[in-house]
Amino acid sequence: MFGSFFKKRPSLERQLRDLAECGVKLLPGATPESLIAEWSEEAFEKDPYRMAVVALGSEEEARSENLWHFDTECIEDHGAYVRIAERMRQLAGDDMPMTEIADFVDVEGREAWLSFRLDGREHRWACEVDSDWVDPSVLTRFAQLLEGRRTGRRFVYLDLGGQDCVLGCFSEEERGKLGRVTGLKWEWLR
């Protein structure tokens, strides 16, 4: 009856090691000490893996190349969609080498767009304006672009149950292993 209640939860060091083995590319600053300096060790043990991926993908200080803790209420002015495109490019690495990234955002005028070049082709996407919320079709379009490049990697997300999520970029094998090891529900971004 009490077996699962008393089950020992993995240490933060073990969580980081497991995540790296699942394809999470840790940056040099991703140490248990640096994470505990910002959050408590109890937080990582109370909500294992979930808290770790949120911390590794932190907007303020990313500690992973291919995870991003993304707040969907982030469109306030020019540059907002540029930041999103640059971060998606970073998550995908060499698999999506976008250049000439630009945007226009006028929330009050209800106009926004994102443009960039990929493989010599210009892309310009009109973005729906809904206060300061991101147009979810932008993320869908990035997912479709990467999937169409047939690199073996795709964008994934972990729904955190609020206005934020964790985005990542993994192979099918890595995504499956992430789910098995962490117990978290990683979905393909569509």
Distances (CA, A) of 83 to 17, 31, 44, 112, 182: 29, 26, 28, 14, 29
The string of DSSP letters for 40-100 reads -HHHHHHSTTHHHHHHHT-SSS--BSSEEEEES----STTHHHHHHHHHHHHHGGGS--EE
Cα separation of 65 and 30, whole Å?
11
Give 3's Cβ-side CA count (13 Å radius). 1
Question: Domain boundaries in the chain?
Answer: 12-71+153-188, 80-148
Would you call 120 helix, strand, or coil by DSSP? Answer: coil
Q: What is the pLDDT of residue 23?
A: 97
Give 8's Cβ-side CA count (13 Å radius). 5
Residue 121's contacts (CB-CB under 8 Å, 6 or more residues apart) are none
Cα separation of 29 and 13, whole Å?
13
Q: What is the pLDDT of residue 59?
A: 87
Residue 136's contacts (CB-CB under 8 Å, 6 or more residues apart) are 72
| E strand or H helix at 38 | helix 32-38
Task: Note the pTM of the prediction, 2 decimals.
Answer: 0.93
Per-residue pLDDT of the chain (190 residues; tens, 9 = 90+): 444 444 578 999 999 999 999 999 999 989 999 999 999 989 999 999 999 999 999 988 889 999 999 999 999 999 999 999 999 999 999 999 999 999 999 999 999 999 999 999 999 999 999 999 999 999 999 999 999 999 999 999 999 999 999 999 999 999 999 999 999 999 999 9
Residue 76's contacts (CB-CB under 8 Å, 6 or more residues apart) are 105, 107, 132
Would you call 3 helix, strand, or coil by DSSP? Answer: coil
Cα separation of 105 and 132, whole Å?
10
Torsion of CA 42, 157, 178, 30, to 10 degrees: -50
